[in-house]
C-alpha cells in the first residue's frame, strides 16, 4: 500500500508549505522513483486521508493539483490513477529498504569539473540604452519584467541603511565570502526548500548577480572547446552566446506546447551525448510553455543514462496563475546532474541583482573560485538586506501581493490584445510567467511594426532575438509581450499606439 511508503514526517512540522503541497511532493517523488507506476490506481481521497490522519479536503486538493500538472488522471466512476502518459521508471536504483531517497551532495559525472585556472576569463561588452541625449519612448512593452513601483524598495533601503552604519559598518563594508552572505545562503536555502521542494543547505548555494552570472559560471566550469550543448530553439540568446564563448558547439532542440522535444534529445543522444543541456522547464523563454511532467521524467532518465549535465534556468518560478508551479528538475535529481539557477530580478526588480546557483557543494566551491576572478564578491549590504526580508517574511508577502497584481494585469492585457489587435496577431493565454507569446498574422513583419511603433513613441520587440539559427524558417513573425511593468491604463495606451503602428498592414 502506498500509504506506507509516504513519508508523513512533514505533519510534525519543519515545512511551512500547505499540507496538500507537501503530500503532493511525496507522491511525485514516489512516481519519479518508479514506486508508483504509470496507470497504477491510487487510494481514494477518503482512504488516504484516513490512513495518513489528514483532513480529506487536503488529499482532494493534492489530487486536484497533481491532475492539473499531469501527474495523475481521474477516471469516471473508477478513481484516480498515475498518468498513463508518464514513462515507467521502476528500474531506477533505490536503496534495499525502499527508503525515501535524498538529494545527493556529491556531483555526478557531468558535474565533475575542470580547474578554474585552465581557461581564460572573457568579457562581453553590453550596449548602454541610457545614452545621454537619446529620447526615451513614451511606453515600452518589454520582454517580461516586474514593475519596480510595487517592489518593497522602502524596506530594502531601510535594511541597507541599518547594515551600513554604526557597529555593523566595518563588518559589511569590508571583503566578505565569495559565495555570498552566509545568512542569505541560509535563508535562501530555507526559502527554496519551502517553495520549490529542494533539499539543500547553504553549502550548496552560490549567490550571483542574477541568473546570467550563474549561466556564465556553469559554462566556464563544464564546457571545454568542442563540447556539444543542447539548447532550445526558440530560446534565450544570451545563454547561447555564453556557451559559444566557452567553446561549445550548439545543437538546437525544437520547442512545442509541452516544452523541449525530449524525443529529439534522445535521438541525438544515441548518436552523440552532449556535455550539457540548457533548459527552461518552467515558463520557457520566450514561448512561456511549461515542460510536461512526463517529459521531465524522461529527461532525467536520459541524463542518468547518457551522463550529461542539466543547467536548469528557473528565472520566474514565482508567478504561475492557473495551478501551482511544477517542481524544478533539481528537486528530482538524485545523481548530481543538475545545476539550478534563479534570481530575484524577475520577482522584485531587474536592478536588484540577487541571483543564486544551486549545485553539489564541490561544484559550488569551484564556481566560487571562478566568480572571484570576475567579481570578487557580491554587494554585501544588499545581500544582508534581502536575507533580512526573507527572514521576516517580507519577500513572501511581496510575492503574494505582486502575484495578485500581475494576474489582474494579465487579464487586462489578454482582453486588450484580443479586442484591439485580434485581427493582427494570435496568442494563447499563458499559465504563468511575466509575458505573452504571440505571432503576427501572415504578411506582418515584426521588424516593420517595431520601426513604425518607435516613430510613434512605443518601444516593442522587432522579433530578432528569439531564434538563434540564421537559417530558421520562422524569423520575425513573433513578439513577446511583457504585461507586468505597465499598469492597466499604461497598457491600454501602449496597445493603442501599437494598433496605430499596425494600421498600414490592414490596408494590404
- For the ranges 52-61, 284-293, 341-350, 470-479, the lowest mean pLDDT is seen at 470-479
pLDDT in tens, 191-204: 999 888 898 999 99
Kindly indicate the confidence band of residue 359, based on its pLDDT and cuts at 50, 70 and 90. very high
pLDDT in tens, 99-147: 444 444 566 667 766 554 444 333 333 333 554 555 678 899 999 999 9
With contact defined as beta carbons under 8 Å apart, do 143 and 433 qualify? no
Q: In the prediction, which pLDDT does 134 show?
A: 52
Domain boundaries, the chain: 2-82, 109-120+151-395, 139-150+399-506
Q: In the prediction, which pLDDT does 146 show?
A: 93
Has residue 357 got a pLDDT over 70? yes
Rounded CA gap, 409 and 417, in Å?
12
- For the ranges 46-55, 252-261, 494-503, the lowest mean pLDDT is seen at 46-55
Has residue 261 got a pLDDT over 90? yes
In this prediction, residues 472-484 reach a mean pLDDT of 79
Q: In the prediction, which pLDDT does 327 show?
A: 87
User: Alpha helix (H) ranges present in 134-284?
Assistant: 153-163, 169-172, 182-196, 211-222, 237-245, 262-271
- Percentage of residues in the chain with pLDDT exceeding 90? 55
139-150+399-506 maps to CATH 3.90.1150.10? yes
Strands 276-279 and 228-233: parallel
**Grid cell 536555502 — which residue?**
189
Cβ neighbors of 236 (< 8 A, separation 6 or more) are: 278, 280, 285, 286, 313
pLDDT greater at residue 295 or residue 33: 295
Q: In the prediction, which pLDDT does 124 show?
A: 34
Has residue 96 got a pLDDT over 80? no
Phi, psi of 357 (to 5 degrees): -125, 125
CATH of 109-120+151-395, one of 3.40.50.720, 1.10.10.10, 3.40.50.1860, 3.40.640.10: 3.40.640.10
In this prediction, residues 437-457 reach a mean pLDDT of 92
The model's pTM: 0.81
Query: Mean pLDDT across the chain, nearest whole number?
Result: 85
- DSSP helix/strand/coil, 481: strand
Has residue 94 got a pLDDT over 80? no
**Grid cell 551600513 — which residue?**
164
Among 84, 93, 26, residue whose Cα is nearest residue 58: 26
In this prediction, residues 228-238 reach a mean pLDDT of 95
Which bin fits 197, alpha (ψ -120 to 50), beta or left (φ > 0)? left
- DSSP helix/strand/coil, 491: helix
- For the ranges 215-224, 296-305, 344-353, 490-499, the lowest mean pLDDT is seen at 344-353
Rounded CA gap, 374 and 365, in Å?
15
In this prediction, residues 389-408 reach a mean pLDDT of 93
Q: In the prediction, which pLDDT does 473 show?
A: 54
pLDDT in tens, 263-313: 999 999 999 999 999 999 999 999 999 999 999 999 999 999 999 999 999
CATH of 2-82, one of 1.10.3720.10, 1.10.260.40, 2.60.120.10, 1.10.10.10: 1.10.10.10
pLDDT in tens, 206-221: 999 999 999 999 999 9
Has residue 318 got a pLDDT over 70? yes
Q: In the prediction, which pLDDT does 128 show?
A: 39
106 alpha-carbon distance from chain centroid = 23
The CA-to-CA distance between both ends of the chain, in Å, stands at 66
Amino acid at each position: 500500500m502506498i500509504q506506507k511508503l509516504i513519508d508523513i514526517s512533514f505533519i510534525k512540522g519543519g515545512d511551512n508549505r500547505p499540507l496538500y503541497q507537501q503530500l503532493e511532493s511525496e507522491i511525485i517523488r514516489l512516481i519519479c522513483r518508479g514506486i508508483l507506476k504509470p496507470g497504477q490506481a491510487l487510494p481514494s481521497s477518503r482512504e488516504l486521508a484516513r490512513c495518513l490522519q489528514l483532513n480529506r479536503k487536503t488529499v482532494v486538493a493534492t489530487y486536484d493539483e497533481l491532475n492539473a500538472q499531469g501527474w495523475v488522471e481521474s477516471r469516471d466512476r473508477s478513481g484516480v490513477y498515475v498518468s498513463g502518459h508518464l514513462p515507467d521508471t521502476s528500474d531506477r536504483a533505490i536503496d534495499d529498504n525502499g527508503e525515501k531517497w535524498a538529494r545527493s551532495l556529491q556531483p555526478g559525472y557531468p558535474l565533475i569539473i575542470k580547474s578554474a585556472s585552465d581557461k581564460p576569463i572573457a568579457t562581453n561588452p553590453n550596449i548602454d540604452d541610457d545614452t545621454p541625449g537619446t529620447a526615451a519612448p513614451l511606453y515600452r512593452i518589454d520582454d517580461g519584467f516586474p514593475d519596480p513601483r510595487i517592489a518593497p524598495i522602502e524596506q530594502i533601503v531601510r535594511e541597507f541603511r541599518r547594515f551600513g552604519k554604526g557597529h555593523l559598518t566595518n563588518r559589511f563594508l569590508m571583503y566578505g565570502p565569495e559565495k555570498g552572505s552566509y545568512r542569505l545562503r541560509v535563508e535562501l536555502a530555507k526559502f527554496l526548500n519551502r517553495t520549490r521542494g529542494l533539499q539543500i543547505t547553504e553549502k550548496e548555494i552560490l549567490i550571483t548577480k542574477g541568473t546570467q552570472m550563474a549561466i556564465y559560471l556553469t559554462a566556464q566550469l563544464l564546457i571545454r572547446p568542442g563540447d556539444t550543448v543542447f539548447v532550445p530553439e526558440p530560446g534565450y540568446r544570451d545563454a547561447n552566446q555564453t556557451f559559444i564563448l566557452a567553446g561549445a558547439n550548439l545543437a538546437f532542440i525544437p520547442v512545442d506546447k509541452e516544452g523541449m522535444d525530449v524525443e529529439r534529445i534522445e535521438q541525438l543522444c544515441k548518436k552523440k551525448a552532449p556535455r550539457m543541456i540548457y533548459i527552461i522547464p518552467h515558463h520557457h523563454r520566450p514561448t512561456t510553455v511549461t515542460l510536461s511532467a512526463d517529459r521531465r521524467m524522461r529527461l532525467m532518465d536520459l541524463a542518468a543514462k547518457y551522463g550529461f549535465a542539466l543547467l536548469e534556468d528557473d528565472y520566474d518560478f514565482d508567478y504561475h496563475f492557473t495551478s501551482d508551479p511544477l517542481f524544478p528538475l533539481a528537486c528530482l535529481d538524485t545523481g548530481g546532474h543538475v545545476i539550478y539557477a534563479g534570481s530575484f530580478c524577475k520577482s522584485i526588480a531587474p536592478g536588484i541583482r540577487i541571483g543564486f546557483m544551486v549545485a553539489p557543494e564541490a561544484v559550488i566551491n569551484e564556481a566560487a573560485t571562478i566568480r572571484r576572478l570576475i567579481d570578487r564578491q557580491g554587494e554585501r549590504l544588499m545581500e544582508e538586506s534581502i536575507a533580512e526580508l526573507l527572514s521576516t517574511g517580507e519577500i513572501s508577502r511581496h510575492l503574494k501581493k505582486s502575484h495578485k497584481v500581475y494576474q489582474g494585469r494579465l487579464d487586462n492585457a489578454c482582453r486588450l490584445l484580443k479586442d484591439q489587435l485580434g485581427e493582427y496577431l494570435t496568442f494563447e493565454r499563458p499559465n504563468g510567467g511575466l509575458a505573452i507569446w504571440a505571432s503576427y498574422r501572415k504578411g506582418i513583419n515584426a521588424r516593420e511594426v517595431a520601426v513604425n511603433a518607435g516613430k510613434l513613441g512605443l518601444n516593442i520587440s522587432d522579433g530578432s532575438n528569439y531564434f538563434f539559427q540564421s537559417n530558421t524558417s520562422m524569423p520575425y513573425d513573433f513578439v513577446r509581450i511583457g504585461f507586468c511593468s505597465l499598469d492597466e491604463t499604461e497598457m491600454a495606451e501602449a496597445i493603442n499606439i501599437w494598433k496605430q503602428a499596425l494600421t498600414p498592414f490592414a490596408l494590404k
